Amino acid sequence: MRQICYEEMSSRVFNIWVRAIFVILVFSFVQCRTHQLNEKADIRDPSIIKPITQMQKTEQEWLTELGAEKYRVLRQCGTEAPFTGKYLYHHAKGIYRCAGCGVELFSSDTKFDSGSGWPSFFDALEKSKIRKVRDTSHGMIRTEIRCAQCDGHLGHVFEDGPKPTGLRYCVNSIALDFSSDSLSEH
């Protein structure tokens, strides 16, 4: 009798885990298309910045210019695996730029180790260069960050960063390029 109950319970637990994994996988394949949301104020944070003049390229032009992996992250809202990006443990002084268009986004002075597995910054060089979009993919409500110039997906921003801003811009390394040679005036 006890053996049957244990086997029955194990089977139920197994079924619950299978269902949970299935749900997670389904959410994983959902692309973040929230940048296509309409501009109604009731579905967007009032502090969200409107894009500057955006670059107009076809998806084929983007794919040719960026290559498959950068295209997947920047244009299809993909995410690189945690703890794999080339800028995670990068400590050189300079400017991090959008890998899609070259616009200056972050300074190394605001980079910190968040332990999240992605490069993190507590502030942007200029708020107008980053567009914030409500992201409801993967069963969560987050704030996606996109380059305001080329509309490339950069990552997400969270309100658990260090002082003085309390923000953590969590960015895919592959969405960034780095320049240490000439820092422009900010």
91 domain-assigned: yes
Q: 29 or 77: whose pLDDT is higher? A: 77
174 domain-assigned: yes
Please tell me the predicted confidence (pLDDT) of residue 8.
Answer: 65
Q: What is the CATH number of the domain that holds 169?
A: 2.170.150.20
**Confidence grade of residue 55 (pLDDT, cut at 50, 70, 90):** confident
11 domain-assigned: no
Contact (Cβ atoms closer than 8 angstroms) between residue 152 and residue 175: yes
> Is the pLDDT confidence value at 47 over 70?
no
Q: Which domain holds residue 126?
A: 31-179
169 domain-assigned: yes
Report how far residue 32's alpha carbon sits from residue 161's, in angstroms, rounded to the nearest whole number.
Answer: 23
pLDDT tens, position by position, 101-139: 999 999 999 999 999 999 999 999 999 999 999 999 889
Look at the pTM and tell me if it is higher than 0.75.
no
> Is the pLDDT confidence value at 52 over 70?
no
Number of domains into which the chain is organized: 1
Helix (H) or strand (E) holding 97: strand 95-98
Supply the residues annotated as catalytic: 170
186 domain-assigned: no
> Is the pLDDT confidence value at 44 over 60?
no
7 domain-assigned: no
